[in-house]
């Protein structure tokens, strides 16, 4: 009996193979986009975690010399003073057109690294004498090891899959030779157990800076914003895909009603029918999900190199550009496909289960009552309202997401009602019979298209929202770079004495020499870096203040007040007029707050005399130099030559900016790729809706044709209708996208990262998106329209045929 039911149900798909294909593609797209994003996120996160674990990054305090490498003699003198430190020498190495990072650690002193443990516990552990003495051994992940083995002149390679990608781990002795940096150390890590009676760093190595483990840039937290973006995109894509599934399943169920009624009349119980249909949906979800996984795998594989490059470039977070297939990823993807399909089919199943045996017409009622649309609209409005309410009433990232979710869902539910309102206004104003018919017909068509249009709305809103956020971020970032990097050249001296010499030497030949001095203090909210500044127009003109009081600069420079960065302001709840108390006991009024993107720690600015009073003896080794931009290169070179400074001790502002921006732009390559994909899915949703509506369209169109319109005219009207609906949706998507952008910038970003981005509007982008939307709608309607244009009159006549 079940076999017969299945056969009957499946016969539907044989006759409607396009519907079947649409359904499977919908599931596959939803699963594919979601899984791709998940895979990218998981892969990237696994890479950071691996790198942190494997290289013991961020676990220990570090000593660095801001002016360049540390001589090995300094390491020995620290050791001989009792400081338990371990030396690390790092640097890039170009090997057959690819840049890899070499990390040379003192294998004798450095804490245990998993890669070394793995090698040592292998069946053929290397002789430690070989590891520690020339030529040494290089440890690398399998794929890099393969490349390295093909090179001549390198030490023997050992393979370890616990070494992060694109990194060569080796003893510091081998690294010296490899990098040609004899006697140099990049940084030292401070080991956890220090003996009694160790002299302070300022006495024995004043040029070194101690960087607390907590202050080191943690790749995982920095890249969170990036992953947040990707996840949001993944969810939206999933939702858009589910709209397709919902629409197709609904139509298939409606079309099978007659068959189901017949089956029930023949004695099949509703319970059994529901079970069989559930099994059918499960099978479809699994097939579509599997297709989606394949799609997602390749999509992630295609996008991952970009993501990896971005993360490496932006945050120095090592990410492997290679995808590996994880079983749990595949299982999660299939589960999402299954859950999504069931969720999208729930309504149809529910209606089917409640369908009375004897009533209900064949195909769904053509006109959905205005009441239904209005109540959906009211529910939508309620959702939007409660979304805002939750977002404003509660703090936290979850509340932020609930808000965005509420607004988006609510807006989607309100869309059909708003569209129908707009259409009835146009309808009333229409004069010609064709115009009248077109508007009326669009209104009638709306229920069938509304899901696709909701998908389009979400895709457009996401596009506008994320696009506005990224562009705002970029503009702010550029502005911030301009403001913060005002000096044309930045120089770091080896010590205070040289600093003085440099300042004197520069004094006669440049416009201004602005000392950059800072000390690390603590505040109850965490570390606090206190900077001193001299009075110069540069600060007054350019410093990016987001909140300020009267005479802010005068008050700061006379030592009455302090400026703090946004992070500290938000963390400590300090705003102009409040008082900042430092651990030194000094308390100053906050005169202003400035933006400080990407910096995890608190920062404050006081006048130079004030700095000396609060923390006497801060170094004077760094300077910003103001001069005519065209002289920057010349002065940079002169400084290097005159004071024998290493390259990184003298930096030109223009180069710094260009590099920062290049990195920034790369970050969002993936975002725009996903943007286009989401819009593509929405376009596909329109296409599938139009195709599934095709059979219902003929009875609408045929009488008009019979009354004297050509098929070409009708086809043009079909396209026009689709484009008009898309245009109306796009108009409604604009405010929604801006609300989304506002939520991302002002709520979610603040909750997640502690700083708020100002919002800028980019009307040119909207125009571009609008045109793109019309093109998508045009493309989606083109196929059905073409079909109509070529539809044989004899087939149109069948609509009128008596024996229909």
Partner 1 sequence: MNVKAWLFVLILLLPSALHAQGYAGLGGSADGFDIPKPGYQFEFPRDHGPHPSFRIEWWYLTANLSGEDGRDYGIQWTLFRSALKPTEAEGWQSPQLWLGHAAVTTEEAHYFAERLSRGGIGQAGVTAEPFEAWIDEWHMRGPDPRALSLSASGAEFSYDLTLTAQGPLVFHGEDGYSVKSADRQASYYYSQPFYDVEGELRLPDGDVAVTGQGWLDREWSSQPLAADQSGWDWFSLSFDDGNKLMAFRLRGGRGDFTAATWITADGAATPLPDGSVSFTPLDTARVAGRDVPIQWRVTLPDRDLQVDVSAITPDAWMATRFEYWEGPVRVSGSHSGRGYLEMTGY
Partner 2 sequence: MLLNIDKVQKSYPGGRPVLRDVSLTLDQGQTLALTGESGSGKSTLLNLAAALDSFDGGEITLDGTALSSLDDCGRAALRRESVSLVFQQFNLIPSLTVAQNLSFHARLANREDTDWTAQLAERLGLSDLLTRYPENLSGGQQQRVAIGRAMAPRPKLLLADEPTGNLDETASATVLDLMLSLVAETGAALLLVTHSPDIAARLDRRAHLTGGHIA
What residues make contact with partner 2 under the rule CB under 8 A? 365-367, 432-434, 436-437, 440-441, 443-445, 699-700, 702-713, 793-794, 796-797, 799-804
Which CB sits closer to partner 1, 129 or 707?
Answer: 129
SS3 90: strand
366 binds, among partner 2, partner 1, none (CB under 5 to 8 A by kind): partner 2
Which CB sits closer to partner 2, 105 or 715?
Answer: 715
Q: Is the distance from CB of 300 to CB of 36 less than 8 angstroms? A: yes
* Closest by Cα among 57, 140, 529, 668 to 316: 57
Considering the complex, what minimum distance in angstroms separates the CB of residue 12 from partner 2? 25
| Residue 200 structure tokens | 């302070």
Considering the complex, what minimum distance in angstroms separates the CB of residue 104 from partner 1? 9
Which CB sits closer to partner 2, 80 or 431?
Answer: 431
Which CB sits closer to partner 1, 185 or 687?
Answer: 185
| Residue 625 structure tokens | 């130099």
Binding mask 708-737 for partner 1 (x = CB under 8 A): ------------------------------
Q: Is the distance from CB of 61 to CB of 194 less than 8 angstroms? A: no
81 binds, among partner 2, partner 1, none (CB under 5 to 8 A by kind): partner 1
Q: Which of 43, 62, 166, 176 binds partner 1 (CB under 8 A)?
A: 176
H or E element in which residue 532 lies: strand 526-533
Interacting residues of 90 by C-beta distance below 8 A, sequence separation 6+: 101, 102, 103, 104, 175, 186, 187
Contact call for residue 172 and partner 1 (CB under 8 A): yes
Q: Where are the alpha helices (H) located in 256-269, listed in sequence order?
A: 257-265
Binding mask 181-220 for partner 1 (x = CB under 8 A): -xx---------xxxxx-----------------------
**From the CB of residue 425, how many other CB atoms can be counted at a distance below 10 Å?**
11
804 binds, among partner 2, partner 1, none (CB under 5 to 8 A by kind): partner 2
Beta strand 167-171 with 157-159 is unpaired
Taking phi first (over 0 means left), then psi (-120 to 50 degrees means alpha), and beta for anything else, what does residue 529 get? Answer: beta
Which CB sits closer to partner 2, 709 or 774?
Answer: 709
Which CB sits closer to partner 2, 437 or 762?
Answer: 437
| CA separation for the pair 449, 430 (Å, rounded) | 22
389 binds, among partner 2, partner 1, none (CB under 5 to 8 A by kind): none
| CA separation for the pair 133, 153 (Å, rounded) | 16
Considering the complex, what minimum distance in angstroms separates the CB of residue 366 from partner 2? 5
| CA separation for the pair 186, 180 (Å, rounded) | 13
- Report in angstroms the alpha-carbon separations of 317 from 145, 186, 222: 20, 18, 9
**Binding residues for partner 1 restricted to 44-103, rule: CB under 8 A:** 72-73, 75-76, 79-82, 84
Considering the complex, what minimum distance in angstroms separates the CB of residue 697 from partner 2? 11
| CA separation for the pair 134, 137 (Å, rounded) | 8
Q: Where are the alpha helices (H) located in 16-71, listed in sequence order?
A: 17-55
Contact call for residue 134 and partner 1 (CB under 8 A): yes
Contact call for residue 439 and partner 1 (CB under 8 A): no
φ, ψ of residue 562 to 5 degrees: the values are -135, 150
| # residues contacting partner 1 (CB under 8 A) | 39
Q: Which of 7, 96, 121, 124 binds partner 1 (CB under 8 A)?
A: 121
Beta strands in 130-258 (DSSP E): 138-140, 157-159, 167-171, 184-185, 187-190, 209-211
- For residue 553, say if its preceding peptide bond is cis, omega within 30 degrees of 0: no
Considering the complex, what minimum distance in angstroms separates the CB of residue 705 from partner 2? 8
Considering the complex, what minimum distance in angstroms separates the CB of residue 360 from partner 2? 15
Give one DSSP letter per residue of 129-176, joined into a string.
HHHHSTT--EEE-HHHHHHHHTSSSSPPEEE-TTSPTTEEEEEHHHHH
Contact call for residue 133 and partner 1 (CB under 8 A): yes
| CA separation for the pair 788, 796 (Å, rounded) | 9
Considering the complex, what minimum distance in angstroms separates the CB of residue 438 from partner 2? 9
Q: CB under 8 A: which stretch of 130-138, 449-457, 463-471, 483-491 binds partner 1?
A: 130-138
Chain residues binding partner 1 by CB under 8 A are 72-73, 75-76, 79-82, 84, 106-113, 116-117, 120-121, 125, 127-129, 132-134, 171-173, 176, 182-183, 193-197
């Amino acid at each position: 009996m079940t076999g017969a039911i299945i056969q009957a149900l499946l016969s539907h798909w044989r006759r409607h193979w396009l519907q079947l294909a649409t359904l499977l593609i919908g599931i596959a797209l939803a699963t594919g986009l979601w899984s791709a994003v998940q895979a990218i996120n998981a892969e990237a996160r696994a890479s950071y975690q691996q790198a942190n674990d494997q290289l013991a990054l961020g676990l220990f305090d570090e000593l660095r010399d801001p002016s360049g490498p540390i001589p090995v003699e300094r390491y020995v003198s620290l050791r001989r003073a009792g400081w338990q430190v371990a030396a690390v020498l790092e640097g890039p190495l170009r090997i057959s057109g690819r840049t890899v990072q070499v990390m040379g650690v003192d294998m004798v002193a450095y804490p245990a690294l998993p890669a070394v443990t793995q090698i040592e516990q292998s069946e053929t552990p290397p002789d430690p004498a070989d590891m520690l003495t020339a030529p040494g051994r290089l440890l690398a992940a399998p794929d890099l090891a393969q490349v390295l083995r093909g090179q001549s002149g390198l030490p023997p390679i050992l393979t370890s899959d616990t070494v992060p990608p694109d990194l060569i781990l080796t003893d510091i002795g081998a690294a010296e030779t490899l990098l040609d940096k004899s006697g140099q150390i990049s940084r030292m890590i401070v080991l956890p157990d220090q003996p009694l009676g160790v002299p302070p760093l300022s006495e024995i190595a004043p040029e070194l800076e101690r960087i607390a483990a907590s202050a080191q840039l943690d790749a995982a937290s920095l890249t969170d914003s990036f992953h947040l973006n990707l996840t949001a995109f993944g969810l939206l894509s999933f939702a858009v895909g589910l709209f397709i599934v919902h629409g197709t399943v609904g139509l298939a169920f409606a079309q099978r009603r007659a068959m189901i009624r017949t089956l029930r009349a023949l004695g099949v119980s509703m319970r059994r029918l529901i079970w069989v249909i559930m099994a059918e949906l499960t099978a479809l979800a699994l097939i579509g999900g599997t297709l989606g996984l394949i799609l997602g795998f390749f999509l992630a594989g295609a996008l991952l190199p970009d993501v990896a490059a971005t993360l490496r470039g932006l945050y120095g977070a090592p990410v492997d550009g290679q995808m590996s297939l994880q079983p749990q990823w595949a299982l999660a993807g299939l589960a999402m496909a299954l859950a999504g399909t069931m969720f999208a089919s729930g309504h149809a199943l529910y209606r089917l289960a409640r369908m009375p045996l004897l009533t209900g017409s064949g195909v769904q009622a053509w006109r959905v009552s205005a009441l239904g649309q209005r109540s959906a609209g009211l529910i939508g409005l309620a959702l939007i309202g409660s979304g805002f309410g939750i977002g404003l009433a509660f703090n936290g990232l979850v509340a932020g997401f609930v808000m965005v979710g509420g607004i988006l869902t609510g807006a989607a539910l309100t869309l059909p009602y708003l569209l129908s309102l707009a259409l009835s206004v146009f309808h009333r104003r229409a004069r010609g019979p064709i115009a009248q018919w077109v508007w009326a017909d669009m209104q009638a068509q709306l229920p069938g298209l509304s899901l696709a249009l909701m998908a389009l709305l979400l895709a457009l809103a996401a596009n506008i929202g994320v696009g506005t956020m990224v562009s705002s971020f970029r503009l702010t970032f550029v502005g911030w770079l301009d403001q913060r990097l005002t000096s044309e050249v930045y120089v770091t001296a080896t010590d205070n004495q040289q600093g003085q010499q440099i300042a004197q030497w520069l004094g006669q030949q440049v416009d201004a020499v602005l000392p950059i001095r800072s000390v690390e203090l603590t505040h109850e909210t965490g570390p606090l870096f206190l900077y001193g500044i001299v009075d110069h127009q540069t600060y007054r003109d350019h410093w990016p203040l987001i909140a300020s009081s009267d005479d802010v600069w005068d008050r700061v420079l006379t030592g009455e007040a302090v400026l703090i960065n946004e992070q500290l302001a938000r963390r400590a709840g300090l705003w102009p007029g409040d008082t900042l108390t430092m651990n030194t006991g000094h308390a100053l009024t906050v005169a202003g707050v400035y933006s400080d993107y990407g910096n995890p720690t608190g920062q404050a600015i006081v006048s130079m005399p004030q700095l000396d009073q609060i923390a006497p003896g801060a170094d004077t080794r760094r300077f910003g130099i103001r001069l005519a931009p065209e002289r920057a290169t010349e002065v940079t070179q002169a400084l290097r030559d005159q004071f024998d400074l290493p390259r990184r001790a003298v930096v030109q502002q223009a180069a710094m900016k260009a590099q920062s921006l290049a990195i920034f732009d790369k970050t969002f390559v993936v975002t725009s790729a996903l943007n286009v994909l989401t819009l593509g899915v929405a376009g596909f949703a329109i296409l599938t809706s139009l195709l599934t509506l095709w059979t219902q369209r003929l009875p609408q169109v045929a009488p008009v044709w019979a009354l004297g319109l050509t098929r070409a005219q009708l086809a043009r009207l079909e396209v026009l209708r689709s484009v008009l609906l898309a245009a109306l949706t796009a108009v409604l998507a604009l405010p929604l996208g801006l609300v989304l952008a506002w939520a991302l910038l002002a709520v979610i970003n603040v909750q997640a990262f502690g700083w708020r981005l100002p919002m800028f509007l980019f009307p040119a982008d909207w125009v571009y998106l609008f045109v793109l939307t019309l093109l998508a709608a045009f493309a989606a309607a083109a196929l059905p329209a073409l079909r109509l244009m070529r539809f044989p009159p004899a087939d149109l006549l069948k609509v009128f045929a008596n024996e229909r």
